[in-house]
Amino acid sequence: MTARPTTVKRVSPTVLAGNLRGVITLINRRMRATRPVGELTPGQFSALGSLDLAGALTPSELAESERVRPPTITRIVAKLEAAGLVRRTPHATDRRQVILEPTEQGRAVLRQARRAREAWLAQQLAELDPDERETLRQAAEILIRIARA
């Protein structure tokens, strides 16, 4: 097997940022499309995921986390609660507040959706050659560093 010549292309951070943003958005849309239709809206899924990651939040904290207004999060939480995916419990120190957390059913819905997205992505990655997968592994490490900065 003949080694491919390596040429380094220089690209500005601004151009690269635009390219990455576009491809991340496209991949995210494709992965969201793996969810069965009619389950949850993207906003409901995002709120449920935020609660799963945080463990438990007040409605205000959830609204802030989701970057939506309180009336919007109230509607989202009402739908999730009606579906049995979120539960409200009294706040330990402030009786005016409630704590929201995912139910086991809510966590199961998230696990199922995550498995579907990962299966789709794994299928796409399986079609790449080993060198391409290694390049993506290295890129993933860099992207994790960027995300944590």
Q: What is the pLDDT of residue 27?
A: 92
Averaged pLDDT of the chain? 91
Distance CA 145, CA 113 (A): 26
| Per-residue pLDDT at 2 exceeds 60 | no
Query: Domains along the chain?
Result: 39-118 (1.10.10.10)
Nearest to 62 by CA among 89, 100, 106: 100
Specify the pTM: 0.79
What's the pLDDT tens digit per position in 102-129?
999 999 999 998 999 999 999 999 999 9
**Residue 37: what pLDDT?**
63
Comparing 91 with 44, which gets the higher pLDDT?
44
Structure tokens that stand for 40 in this block: 């949850």
Distances (CA, A) of 18 to 7, 8, 22, 128: 22, 19, 6, 24
DSSP string for residues in the chain: -PPPPP-PPP--HHHHHHHHHHHHHHHHHHHHTTSPTTS--HHHHHHHHHHHHHS-B-HHHHHHHHT--HHHHHHHHHHHHHTTSEEEEE-SS-TT-EEEEE-HHHHHHHHHHHHHHHHHHHHHHHTS-HHHHHHHHHHHHHHHHHHH-
